[in-house]
Amino acid sequence: MKATLLSAFLLIAATGNALAGSHVYGPFPADYVEECGSCHVAFPPQLLTAPGWQRVMEQLDKHYGADASLEDKRRTAIADFLRRSASTRDKHAPTEASARLSRTAWFAREHGPTPPAKVSFAECTACHTAADRGDYSERSIKLPAGWRRAR
């Protein structure tokens, strides 16, 4: 029993899952951070389901208005990591063809329908000031003056 619990814990730690409620993710593999953290922070893989990540990785050449294509070997390795670390919960399922992480039911509930002025939902660090370290905890949030989450 103890051994089972211990190995379950180690498995959670190894896949980079945030412990329940901590809102801190990672660390992530270096190639994931390098390839998926150049134009935006490396998003926590736990915030989208495996079918969602698959959709994202299948259209990297048309990645939300930019070409983010990767050579096959790296793409396969990263797709594999995302599939292994993905969420299995419905609230993290994609809701449209491009599978934007910012359009899941969970994201909409947490953030409302529109980001603050002049900020894109892809710019996590605009409010989550430690997002580049995988830290989305309440204490690191700094909202723009006057902004309220719409419902």
Partner 1 sequence: MSIRILAALAIATAGAVVSSTAAAISPAELQTSLAAEARQADPAFREFSAQRGETFYRAKHGGDWSCSTCHTDNPAMPGNHAVTNKAVKPLAPAANPDRFTNPEKVAKWFKRNCNDVLKRACTAQEKGDLVAWLLTVKP
Site for partner 1 in 5-44 (CB under 8 A): 38-41
64 near partner 1, judged by CB under 8 A: yes
135 near partner 1, judged by CB under 8 A: no
Other Cβ atoms closer than 10 A to 31: 14
Q: How far is the CB of 87 from partner 1 (least distance, A)?
A: 22
66 near partner 1, judged by CB under 8 A: yes
Q: Which of 38, 45, 87 is nearest to 63 (CA)?
A: 38
User: Closer CB to partner 1, residue 108 or residue 126?
Assistant: 126
Q: Which of 110, 104, 109, 150 is nearest to 128 (CA)?
A: 110
Binding mask 114-133 for partner 1 (x = CB under 8 A): -----xx-xx-xx-------
71 near partner 1, judged by CB under 8 A: yes
Q: How far is the CB of 67 from partner 1 (least distance, A)?
A: 4
Q: Which of 111, 92, 4, 20 is nearest to 49 (CA)?
A: 92
Query: Which part of the chain contacts partner 1 (CB under 8 A), choosing from 8-16, 62-70, 90-98, 105-113?
Result: 62-70
93 near partner 1, judged by CB under 8 A: no
Distance (Å, whole) CA 1 – CA 5: 6
User: Closer CB to partner 1, residue 41 or residue 57?
Assistant: 41
72-85 vs 50-58: helix axis angle to the nearest 10? 160
Distance (Å, whole) CA 64 – CA 55: 12
Distance (Å, whole) CA 113 – CA 61: 27
Binding residues vs partner 1 (CB under 8 A): 38-41, 61, 64-71, 119-120, 122-123, 125-126
